[in-house]
Amino acid sequence: MSKRENQRKNLRRKAFSTLNEYFSLPDLAEDEEAISRRMYKYTDCGAFIKIETDRVVIGSIVEGCDFDTEYQYIKFEDLTFESLDAAIETTENQAHELWVWANETDMSADPPIF
């Protein structure tokens, strides 16, 4: 294994460790499905999280309209509780704004832009 591959593997392992601790899951697991379920269950907007090669992606599909929130990207090396909190808060706020636009307005106005 090359040095670069080893670094990438270590960053991924550290990212899963951070995500597991954040979502109160066992530290040794690399269970993307369990992390995804916790994200969906414990956010008001039912946010999703995807774990990619070198980053996580957080977003939400808003009920009542054909819009998604703007995706929040966090590189593994920048993944902390604070960056997760910020990405989730941004996603929740955007989902709320889109939901209000889709469900409490006549929708003749343009949707919120983020």
Question: pLDDT at position 69, please?
Answer: 96
DSSP label of 8: H
pLDDT at 67: 87
Q: Measuring CA to CA, how many Å separate 36 from each of 51, 95, 108?
A: 9, 17, 34
Every domain of the chain and the residues it spans: 3-104
pLDDT in tens, the chain (114 residues): 798 889 999 999 999 999 999 999 988 789 999 999 999 999 999 999 999 999 999 999 998 787 899 999 999 999 999 999 999 999 999 999 999 988 887 767 777 888
> b vs e for 50-60, b when ≥16 Cβ sit within 10 Å of the residue's Cβ?
ebeeebbebbb
Residue 58 dihedral angles phi and psi, to the nearest 5°: -125, 135
**97 φψ region: left (φ > 0), alpha (ψ -120 to 50), beta (else):** alpha
pTM for the predicted model, two decimal places: 0.90
